[in-house]
Structures are given as C-alpha cells and as structure tokens.
Structure 1
Amino acid sequence: MFFCNRKAVARMGLLALWVLSSAACQVGPSLEEASFEEGLTATAPAALVSCTGVPAWNASTIYNPGDRVVYQGSLYEALVAIWTADPVWGTASGWYKLVGACSGSGTDGGTDGGTDGGTDGGTDISPPSQVLGLRATGVTSTQVSLAWNAASDNVGIAAYLVFRNGTQVGTTSALVYTDGILSPSTQYSYTVKARDGVGNVGVASAALSVTTAQDTNPGGSWHPSHVAVGTVYEPFTGTDGFFNKVNPQFPAGKRLDYGYLYLNGGVQFSEWHSRATRLATKSKEQGMTPIFVVYGIGGNSDSPASLWANLQNAGFLSQYFQGLRDVGQTATSIMGTGRIGYVIEPDTLGYLQQQYAAQYGGDPSRMPAATHAAYDSGVLQRGVDPDFPNTVTGLVQSINHALRKHTPRAFLGWQLNLWAAPGAPGTGIMHSTEVFGFEAGKTRIQENARANAGFALKAGVKYGGAEFISIDKYGLDGAGAGGANPNDPATSIWFWNADLWNNYLLFVRSLKDTLSLPVVLWQIPAGHINGTTRSSPTVYNPSGTFPLLDNTVQRYEESASPYFFGDTLTLSGNRLAYFSKNEWKDPKVTVSGNTVTWGSHMQEAANAGVVAILMGAGVGQSTRGIPQPGAYPEALPTDGYYWITRVQEYFANPVKLP
C-alpha cells in the first residue's frame, strides 16, 4: 500500500488521483491497491485497456456503487462517496472512491496468458449483463414487490442487488424482491444490478419509478401488527455506512420499524429544525418511521429544580412550543402521509411526582405551569383552540394538542419512570422481590406502577387520544451502571437476570391495565452477556463469533437483548448462579450444567401490552448497537454487531400482537 496526503487529494480531485498514485506517492513494485486516509481508496487494475460503450467519468456526476465509467482510457467500477460531513475537505471536487476492475480486452492474469473465459482459474473481470425487465408486480401503501429478467454471466449469477433511491436495500438470488415497510403515497425509484460469483457487478437496470398506494385506513393503527423494534438513530456518515452494510442481511422486505432522535431543550432549541429535517429525511430513506424524543422542558439538564423553574417561565415555554410547531411542520413536509411519532418529556412527570407533587396533594391539576405561553407564542390561538389552564395538567394537555395540530399524522405518548413513585427499596422497584420476598415484592411492583399511572392520568397524558405510554429501563448498560461488578452481577442494580426482567414486564402490564394504553419500551440498552454461544454472520465477524465486551466505556454487557430475543450462555461462578435464577418458574429459562438458556420473551412482552421496543444508548458511555457520532471507527457499532444480528433473526418471524 501507499499513502498520500489527503489535503492534496481533496484539492486536486479525482482527475489527479492516478497521477498522485504514480508521482506524489511511493508505490511498491507489485502493489495494486492505493489507500488514502479515512477510507478514500482506489484499486489500480493490473492491466490498463481501452474500453468503449460506457460513459466517461464526469466531475459533475454522482455515481452509485457498481456504476462503470471510463477513466484515462480504462473501465472502472465506481464506488463513489462525497465526504460532506467533513467541513474542511467535504467538497464536490474531491473525496471520491474508485474501485476498479478492468474489463473488456485485458488479459486475465492467469497462468495461460489467455483471455479469461471464467474456466481457467484466472481472474474473472467480466461483469454480468445489465438487468432488464424490471417491473412492479404488486404495490400497497407500505410495500413494493419487484420482478425482473435473469441476467447472464460467463461464470453465472450469484445474486441481485436491489437499490431504492440509490441506496442498496436488499440482496437476493431470486428474480423477485419485496421492499417494505414504506410510506404511503410516496414515490420511490428502484434499480437492480447482477453480481457474479467473484464479485463483479453489472450496470444498473433502467430505473423504475413506483408510487405506493394511499393509506386505506388513515385513522387506523399507528403501529405494525407485530411487536415492532426501533433504534436510537443519529443520522450521519457513520450510520449511513452501517446501514449500507447491514440492510442486505435483513429478511426480504423487512427493516427496522422505528428510528428515534432526541430533541433537548435550552441552548439546543436552535438544533431542533435541523434534527427534525435529518431524522425525517434519513428515516424515510431507510424505510423507518421517525420518532422524536422531546426532552425539552428540563432545559438540557438533569435537574428537578431547573425543570420546575422552566415550567413557570413563559419565555422558555414560548420557545418550546414554537419548536414543537416547527418540528411537526418540518417532519410532515418530508414524510407526507407517513406517520411521525413522539415520546414526550422523559423524566418530567417523574421528577414532578417525586419532588413536588406532595406539596399539592399529589394532584398535578393544582401544580402551577405557564401554559399561557402556548397562546402567547402563537402556536395555539385563543378562542380557536381549547382554553388550557395554567397548571401541569393544562400544560400536558396543551402539548398533546399542539403536536396533534401541527403534526396531522402524529402518534404520541408520555414517558413515565421506574423511580417516580414512593415505596421502592434502595436498589429500585424491580428488586422488590429480592428485598420483600417474592409474592410481597410482586405486589409492591404492581402498586408502584399503579401510582405512576395514576399521577400520569391526573396529569392528562391521555388527552386528545394519546396512542401509548412509554417506560424506559436505564440508558447505561447494566454492567456499566453505578460501578457494577460484571463478575458478581447480583450486586448490580441494572444488570438484570430473567426474574428482574419478568418483574419489569409485570410493571409494564400494570401500567397498561391502569391507563388502558399500550406500552412502548424506550431507551432499552443494546449490549449482550459475555458467554453467548450465538454464532455471528461472517459478514459481521469473520471468526463467526461475537467479540467479548470488555466492560469499558461503550462496551458494557447488558441483558436486554438476550432476554427479549433469547440466548444460550456458557457461564461460571457468580455469573452462572445469578443468571440461572428463576423464582418466576419461567419455562423459557433452563439450566444444564454451566449452560443457561433464555428463550425469546417477545411474546411475553406482547402479552404484557408492549407494542414496540426502542433500543439504543441513552448515555454517552453506553454500548452502541448502531454507530453514533464520536465513536470510532465511525461506521461500526461497539457491540460487535450482536444487537442488529438478533433483530434480523427476529424479523424472520416477528411476534404478532394479540
């Protein structure tokens, strides 16, 4: 390999690339690959030949992976990216990639010195033919079914690559593919390319434009018919690279259901517009429904006192309501008739119930709030919109109404907290069965959940027909929270065994029964338990195994995915004793020697009232199931692809809702 200065490459652009490879860099005598910093790569073919019948390279053209171009008289397969995330070097004149393969009349590099026909053991450089006959065989409001004619190749077709709006969304060996979940009444452009057994990719088919059907039941269910799965989603170049890698591994027509993004208040109000634009745009590209986690009233702090002060501050709340209006209008303009979700104000009701409610008899309708800011800001209109009082209940109701008014296709729910109501032991309400005894502890958990739900009900969370209630776990993975000792998880507050997770679903069921609303689990961590015997797809880990998490920042163990998706673990000592516990007599927990098996608990989650599980980091130290800004390498998750693998396995047969 040889290395060049990336500043020189960025300034000189692609036309200078091959000049640089021979002049500005030192090249080994037999090296064919040129590597530039941060992934800017170019592979020089062994033989340079003259090619015809394909377009010449053009600096103004944005190429797609697999496109073929003539450059300096030779044919190259282009894998092109503009590094727009880099404010210094992300320019349209540079930061391209060429992955080359000569084609046409070049020699094959084999031992016979002849032209490669695909049978002599030489290097096959002949791409498959162009895919013809791309057509739509079925279109609904959320899916498009495609078919095409077989391509030809001298050694045979291994797979077809399906692209939606220029992004690869699937790989199949068949001549058909179903893409979903899509947005209703939305136009999509599809192309298909053929790939042979040695990796040569043919030119793209002619583009097919398809518009999904109208939603035939616009007032109907806001969620899929299965227990949905979503992820924290901070769109940037790293997540684009991640999804480009993992999307082809999903079962045909399946993708993550939801992507969620935080809207923090205070000084970050100014970011709401750009974040709304990015999440809606990128979620739509990925076939996901965007969910905004509105975390604004606390003012980007974790202080109950700041929260309480902001509730009385009309100027602050005016900014807040204006932000809600802009997010709703911005996202709607992008999503069209597609749905947009809101998880509203995590911790807000929890802090009010925990810290301030006792002064007002536990009644949020007596607790003061500057609700009039909704009208002062112009977001709501006096005499047109309902007259909401200057109380916490009035504020909650006015937020629901404002979101409904400015996001016509919204679904929404308020977030509650495990720690808000009194009566929990010092280790948290889920540990009640350990502290008070099994049956008494379960009763304590139910009473605590009802107290949380009762306060929320008085606060007006159901106003306007809210679709769900939300509950979190904790944003930091179990083995990293509160100085937990991974070798003795029984001492951890958050590194839960199956008994504690079953307690959690009891809490969830009690919320659902009290409020008569389904539950969305949010901010569920995405690590795994070391000792997993699950094999990894080699596309993610060539060894076929998932790497151990070393329980350092962003690489902590967590038991959520093993519980919900199921896993078989090889353990010993304290870890074996802890994760073997089964006071619930759960038939999906079995132990044989040092092997513990947890079956999937997605059906149990559905039975408890869960309709969606939104997973991913909430604290900067958390393990990442998908990349987030600041992680390195930026396109890699920090969990070794465990979480996304389990999601993809789940989507092969998702659990239907009752």
Structure 2
Amino acid sequence: MASAPGHAATMAAIAPFGYRYQYLAGPATNGWIDWAPNGSFVTNYIDESATAGMTPVFSYYVLLQSSPEGDSDEDRQARALDDEPTMRAYFDALRVFFQRAAERPGQDVILHVEPDLWGFVQRVQGPDPSAQRVRLPSDEALFDGLPDSFPGFAQAIARMRDALAPNVELAFHASTWAPLDDFIYADPPDEKVVEWTEETVQFYEQLGVTFDVIFAEFSDRDAGFKEFVYGDGGASWFNDADFRRHQVFVRTLHERTGLPVILWQIPYGNTRMRAVDNSWNHYQDNRVEWLLDSPGNEHLRLYAGAGVVALLFGRGADGATDASDAARDGARDPEPINGNLQPSLSAADDGGLFAELAARYYEGDRVPLP
C-alpha cells in the first residue's frame, strides 16, 4: 500500500503486507531531501518499515519538478536532463538517498526510479534512447567513461547504487502509453499488445543496465475519477478483455527481460460500497474487487503466472479514492447510485472494502509467486 510516515502500524493492523511505498518528490535542489535533516526522512521510513516487517519502496519522482520550463512534461524532462547544474543537483540528492539507505545494510529497499521519465523519453525517441542528451556531472569520478545520453543516465544511477548501497534494488518503470499507442484505450488484438510492449523492451535493453525489477501501472486515478473529473466517457473502466490485454503486456515484459514485475499504484475504488458514489475522494473503480475477490484467487493466479510478484495499491493524486479516511468525512452511506448497496465497514473513503478483502486474502490460501 501507499503509506505515509507513521502509518506502518496502521497497515500492519489490516494484514501482514510485504511492501509499503512512499514518493520522494520535489525539485532536486530543495525537495524531499529537506523533509527531514540531512535526508533522514529515508532512514526513518526504512526503520519504520522494518519494524513493521515490510520492505520500503521509494517512488523517486524528482526530475519533472526540477525543470519548471517547457511546453509539455516530455519537454520539461528533456530540458532538465540537458542541464548540467540540474543534473549535478539531481545526483547530489540521489547520493544522499543511497547513503541513507546504506545505513541499514541488512534491509532490502526498492528505488522505483522516475516512474514517468522512461515513458516520456520513449515517446519522443522511440525504442532507441541514445538520442536523448544528458549532461552528467563532469567531475563525478563514478561516471567516468559514461556517454552523455539517456543510457549514460541509467548507467550512472546503477553505478552509484553499486558503489554506495548494494542493498537497494532498482526498479525500471514500463508505461502502457510509452509506445505512443496505449492499449488500455485502443483495445488492440493481443498480437499488437505484444508488438508495442516489445518496443518498450527494446528501449529498456538499449539502456545497458540490468534493473532488478520492473514496475508497471494500471492507472493513476480511479476509473470513476477519469470519467467524471476528466470526462473520458468511461474509457478507463476495465472489462475482462482489458485485464487480458494487461496480462499480455505484463507477461511480455517478464518473459522478454526475465525480471519480476510489480504492479503499482492500483486504484482503491470499488463498485460495491455506498460510500463510493463518484464524489471527491469516493470514486468508483473495479480493480480491487476483480483482483482480490475472484473464486479461488483465479485472477491473482493469472497475474502471478504472468510474472507479477506484488501488487501495490495507492492513489496517484488528491481526490481519488483512498483506503483511509483521507476525506475526513467519517463513515458515510449516501444513497446508492448504480447497485453499490453495501453499507460502510469503516470510515475509509472506499467504505472499508480493500481492508476487508486484503485481510481475507492473507487469512486464506495465498497465491504461489514466481
């Protein structure tokens, strides 16, 4: 689950989860590194996670916020990569992260590196990332001999990890939208999903780095959020065919790279609880119930068979549904809107369904993982 500092015990009270995740964000010069003295936010989060028996995951989302200028997110990140002062500040902050993580050498830590960056570069450069210029700090001995290109950027991160914090696993992020055509909205045949995913694999292979794990997403918002806030007409809702295509995407990533896959930032919304009525903080989705409440865990087994080793649930922005009382409106049971008849089980914005299904899963027969 997404889990803010101080909430590990709350998570553990629901179920014996294996992972919790937290964004590290803000500009490279004065972002997460200033959330606590000397970057100790990282150490504190690791310690709290370890006490609760969980592996800490940090989604490192810094580069986009380090460049305020640009016509698009792609342009802003390209400008940041091509600016040596920005890159110097970026790697200075990243060094602090690795140093703090290395203070707990026996604790596994996952660094989920820049979730959108890889997809943005792939959209612009295609399957060959070497055309994206990156101005690596010229006086950093660790980076001697690395090219001033996007593969050099990836290799620099890996070198820094290897030198400073070998207990940290590096996660590459594969975005469904990276090959320009997004199969989630295009609904192509499975063969086309494989073709598009192989473009991402080719991009990954050109980086010259073997990451430890691949992260992939379903969506950063509930389907109801995108329908009623963004006005997408319901295009974000998943049906059985969408889940099948998503499994093809995941399986192709896993089989072509040999890496395990973690599905990240899965929306908390549901279609069962009266609390989830497509209002702010209470938007509907169907992924929680589809994944966690199929007979014999059939749907989880499909994803495990495709190479998935963990599911990380969490909302990607304010206003989306949460599994806590983020709205601070307590237990609520407004009138049903479309068959969502079940009264709230708790004050959580999702009506408590995620906690109920997660606890039931851990109490029952768990799915063997690859």
Q: TM-score range by the shorter chain?
A: 0.7 to 0.9
Runs of 5+ unmatched residues, structure 1: 1-230, 531-545, 568-587, 589-597
Distance in structure 1 (CA, Å) of the matches to 2:155 and 2:230: 43
Structure ranking higher on relative contact order (CA contacts 8 Å, 6+ apart): 2
Distance in structure 1 (CA, Å) of the matches to 2:323 and 2:194: 31
Q: Which structure has the greater CA radius of gyration?
A: 1
Q: CA deviation at 1:468?
A: 1.1
Residue 396 (structure 1) aligns with: 154
Alignment partner for residue 258 of structure 1, among 6, 19, 24? Answer: 19
- Secondary structure of the 1:521 match is strand
Residue 472 (structure 1) aligns with: 217
Q: CA deviation at 1:631?
A: 5.0
Distance in structure 1 (CA, Å) of the matches to 2:179 and 2:325: 34
Q: CA deviation at 1:484?
A: 7.0
Q: CA deviation at 1:369?
A: 0.5
Residue 271 (structure 1) aligns with: 34
Go from structure 1 to structure 2 and tell me whether the alpha carbon gap of 1:247 and 1:298 turns closer, same or farther (over 3 Å shift). Answer: closer
Say whether 1:363 aligns with 2:124. no
Say whether 1:413 aligns with 2:171. yes
The structure with the largest strand share of the pair is 1
Say whether 1:381 aligns with 2:141. yes
Go from structure 1 to structure 2 and tell me whether the alpha carbon gap of 1:442 and 1:249 turns closer, same or farther (over 3 Å shift). Answer: closer
Residue 350 (structure 1) aligns with: 119
Deviations 1:323-378 (A, max 9, x none): 11211221332x34010111111111111111x315xxx4212321012x2x53xx
Alignment partner for residue 430 of structure 1, among 184, 189, 192? Answer: 184
- Secondary structure of the 1:474 match is coil
TM value normalised by structure 2: 0.85
Say whether 1:442 aligns with 2:182. no
Distance in structure 2 (CA, Å) of the matches to 1:389 and 1:265: 27
Distance in structure 2 (CA, Å) of the matches to 1:483 and 1:547: 17
Say whether 1:554 aligns with 2:302. no
The structure with the largest helix share of the pair is 2
Go from structure 1 to structure 2 and tell me whether the alpha carbon gap of 1:485 and 1:559 turns closer, same or farther (over 3 Å shift). Answer: farther
- Secondary structure of the 1:232 match is coil
Go from structure 1 to structure 2 and tell me whether the alpha carbon gap of 1:498 and 1:364 turns closer, same or farther (over 3 Å shift). Answer: same
Distance in structure 1 (CA, Å) of the matches to 2:155 and 2:306: 27
Alignment partner for residue 308 of structure 2, among 610, 628, 634? Answer: 610
**Number of residue pairs the alignment of both structures matches:** 346
Go from structure 1 to structure 2 and tell me whether the alpha carbon gap of 1:631 and 1:415 turns closer, same or farther (over 3 Å shift). Answer: farther
TM value normalised by structure 1: 0.49
Q: CA deviation at 1:277?
A: 3.2
Deviations 1:193-227 (A, max 9, x none): xxxxxxxxxxxxxxxxxxxxxxxxxxxxxxxxxxx
Which amino acid counterpart does residue 618 of structure 1 have in structure 2? G
Say whether 1:303 aligns with 2:73. yes
Alignment partner for residue 339 of structure 1, among 96, 100, 108? Answer: 108
Matched residues, percent identical? 23
Tell me if structure 1 keeps the 8 A contact 2:197–2:253. yes
Tell me if structure 2 keeps the 8 A contact 1:563–1:599. no
Distance in structure 1 (CA, Å) of the matches to 2:325 and 2:82: 38
Q: CA deviation at 1:633?
A: 5.9
Q: CA deviation at 1:482?
A: 4.4
Say whether 1:314 aligns with 2:84. yes
Distance in structure 1 (CA, Å) of the matches to 2:366 and 2:297: 14
Cα RMSD (Å) of the superposition? 2.7
- Secondary structure of the 1:637 match is coil
Q: CA deviation at 1:626?
A: 3.8
Q: CA deviation at 1:636?
A: 5.2
Tell me if structure 2 keeps the 8 A contact 1:611–1:657. yes
Distance in structure 1 (CA, Å) of the matches to 2:161 and 2:349: 35
